Amino acid sequence: MTAADLARYLSKYDLVATLDLIDAALQTRTQEQFQRLMGLAGGLVPIENSHASVADLDEHGAIERTRHQININFPTGWLQAYRQQRLITEDPVAKHLFVSDRPLIWGQIRQSNREAADRRFYGRAAEFGLRDGFSFGARFVRSRSASFFSCAGAGLTSDRRHITIIQYMVPHLHSALAKVHTSLLKSQPLLTPREIEVLNWAKFGKTNWDISVQMGISERAVKYHLANAMFKLHAGNRSQAVAVALSQGLIDWG
Amino acid sequence: MTAADLARYLSKYDLVATLDLIDAALQTRTQEQFQRLMGLAGGLVPIENSHASVADLDEHGAIERTRHQININFPTGWLQAYRQQRLITEDPVAKHLFVSDRPLIWGQIRQSNREAADRRFYGRAAEFGLRDGFSFGARFVRSRSASFFSCAGAGLTSDRRHITIIQYMVPHLHSALAKVHTSLLKSQPLLTPREIEVLNWAKFGKTNWDISVQMGISERAVKYHLANAMFKLHAGNRSQAVAVALSQGLIDWG
DNA sequence: CTGGCACCTGTCCGAACGGACAGGGTCCGC
DNA sequence: GCGGACCCTGTCCGTTCGGACAGGTGCCAG
């Protein structure tokens, strides 16, 4: 992937559209905006359906549980089968994820890989019309989660033009997903307002007594909120509660 | 700033170069890479000198102290005067920073603002050859710091072509600076290896005794390292120490 | 060789924390 | 009306923390 590729395979209109797409990705904050963003991408390369998910990772970097899913025309039958049969364990794409910081073209994996298990996997996917497409997965910089998304469409990756656009576009889709993730986390309130308030004081090193004065409640009430927050965040003490809340984006850095 | 501007004011070569610059910004991790990045930008628009700094902010969002500076041909006399005479307090550009998420063209401020103080400021800057340029400042997403950079050059902002490129380029320079900032923070070791190790356990809610077992040292030694870390991070207890270390990027989210 | 830094260790003690036992209240949806 | 959220309060008690006193080592630059 070089600048020469850009000039060779892309028209001026393509370049304008790609730059504009990157700019739109920068502005993306909400799930709806992300869907519009994918619509924009679909106008540029033949994406028929796409599926984006954000997942938490365990300490080894493996996918622990899925947090959000943004599905655009992706065959629900496939998603069900994928989840129910835990196909992620045999997904040749998932195996390669997080290893490379470039999108993975299904066709390339298929060619380089002739194992029976992989052929079976692609056979199943093809039953749902998923033949041509790419996947991308990358960790978020400051949290133990990652984005993981796939786009499919006839002829999507058989053209150097498409592949070039995808290469340049994908990292910004990932950043957009990161921002969507943050906004979604805040919109589905795991913690109550009081719990957040207490954590915000605890992060500054305030004692329970300090916080009780600041909030105009008893010291016991502070301990109550903190205990609830610790329970919800699976934290053993206030330090861990603050660390988890920060890394999840549940409290800010003010 | 629209896609139409892109097509109207930029040639195909411009578009290729801008996209390539954005891609290079994505790869940028170190100070040297950032300097190369600015060289790339200088090949596209007539940037003669540039100056980038990363600063910590206080709770009101005002600049507290400067952390890093990356200076490329910026007149050192001006920088000295700026620092010594605390010109930031009267810098018309700094006043507008963090308000807008778009770069500020000096000429536009100059036209819209006819106060004597501002004229005096620009007079001083002009003495050092700083007549035409732009500045940009934005907060980093997850830390209480911000990037703040200026580029100057004859005719830099008198052309719609230049301005269009700058508009699309600037957010990615900012992200690049954020990454440079993180790598610089880790390379200039504020904390000792042991202090980092202790904080990394504390973030998981481990007690001093737990940590002492994990590290194979006495509980007293753990308290010793933690106390030193707390002192260096201006933290009153372990919760704050963990929060500060996390937000400064001194420890990771593993 | 000496000062400085990082590393490690000990004891004491008051303050802070976190768990477990309680008990109140309001408001909202089913 | 009643369960279920949030919100708030109390006491007791063992554990943990953090500060203050103290001591030691090894290594490296000036």
Which residues on chain A are in Cβ contact (under 8 Å) with B19? 3, 6, 15, 18-19, 22, 168
Q: Which of A102, A104, A107, A112 is nearest to A122 (CA)?
A: A107
Give me the residues of B, 21-40, that contact A with CB < 8 A: 22-23, 26
- pLDDT above 70 covers what percent of chain A? 95
CA separation, residue A83 to residues A55, A66, A87, B80 (Å): 13, 10, 7, 61
Rounded to an integer, the average pLDDT of A200-221 is 96
Would the Cβ of B217 be found within 7 angstroms of any atom in strand C?
A: yes
* Minimum Cα–Cα distance from A15: chain B residue: B15
Does A240 touch chain B if contact means CB atoms closer than 8 Å? Answer: yes
pLDDT at B90: 75
Q: Torsion over CA of B35, B37, B38 and B44, rounded to 10 degrees?
A: 150
Tell me how close the Cα of B79 comes to any Cα of chain A, in angstroms. Answer: 29
Give the contacts of A62 (CB within 8 A, at least 6 positions apart): none
Q: How many CB atoms lie within 10 A of CB A100?
A: 11
* Minimum Cα–Cα distance from B4: chain A residue: A16
pLDDT exceeds cutoff 90 at A114: no
Tell me how close the Cα of B183 comes to any Cα of chain A, in angstroms. Answer: 13
- The rounded Cα B235 to chain-centroid distance in angstroms is 24
CA B249 to C1' C3 (Å) is 32
- Residue with the bigger pLDDT between A223 and B112: it is A223
pLDDT at B121: 79
Q: Shortest CB distance from A143 goes to which of B13, B203, B253?
A: B253
pLDDT at A99: 67
Tell me how close the Cα of A238 comes to any Cα of chain B, in angstroms. Answer: 7
- Chain D bases near protein Cβ (<7 Å): 5-11, 15-20
Three-class SS of residue A237?
A: coil
Q: Which of B236, B33, B107 is nearest to A203 (CA)?
A: B236
pLDDT at A1: 62
- Chain C bases near protein Cβ (<7 Å): 6-11, 15-19
Which residues on chain B are in Cβ contact (under 8 Å) with A171? 26
pLDDT exceeds cutoff 90 at A157: no
pTM here is 0.88
Which residues on chain B are in Cβ contact (under 8 Å) with A142? 142, 249, 253
User: Could you read off the pLDDT tens digit of each residue along chain B, which spans 254 residues?
Assistant: 677 888 889 989 999 999 999 999 999 999 999 999 999 999 999 999 899 988 888 777 777 788 888 888 888 888 888 888 877 777 777 776 666 778 888 887 777 766 777 777 777 888 888 888 888 888 887 777 888 889 998 888 888 999 999 999 999 999 999 999 888 887 878 999 999 999 999 999 999 999 999 999 999 999 999 999 999 999 999 999 999 999 888 898 76
Question: B12–A12: do the CB atoms touch at under 8 Å?
Answer: yes
Q: Of how many residues is chain B composed?
A: 254
Q: Which of A49, A109, A103 is nearest to A79 (CA)?
A: A49
Contacts of strand D, CB cut-off 7 Å?
Answer: A 192-195, 212, 215, 217-221, 224-225, 237; B 207-209, 223, 226-227, 230, 236-239
- Quick one: tokens of B114? 């006819």
Does B60 touch chain A if contact means CB atoms closer than 8 Å? Answer: no
Query: Which of the residue ranges A84-88, A202-206, B215-219 would you say has the lowest mean pLDDT?
Result: A84-88
- Quick one: tokens of A145? 């989660």
Give the contacts of B189 (CB within 8 A, at least 6 positions apart): none
pLDDT at B97: 67
Model confidence at A185, in pLDDT bands (50, 70, 90)?
A: confident
Render pLDDT for A34-73 as a digit per residue (tens, 0 to 9): 999 999 999 999 999 899 988 888 767 777 778 888 888 8
Which residues on chain B are in Cβ contact (under 8 Å) with A239? 202-203, 205, 238-239, 242
User: Strand locations in B75-193, DSSP E?
Assistant: 104-105, 133-139, 145-152
- The rounded Cα A178 to chain-centroid distance in angstroms is 6
Q: How many CB atoms lie within 10 A of CB B136?
A: 24
- Residue with the bigger pLDDT between A245 and B95: it is A245
Containing A18, the helix (H) or strand (E) segment is: helix A12-27
Three-class SS of residue B111?
A: helix
- Quick one: tokens of A162? 């498409």
pLDDT at A102: 81
pLDDT at B222: 96
CA separation, residue B171 to residues A27, B17, B47, B222, B243 (Å): 11, 16, 17, 42, 27
- Residue with the bigger pLDDT between A76 and B38: it is B38
pLDDT at A237: 95
Minimum-distance nucleotide, CA of B193 to C1': C6
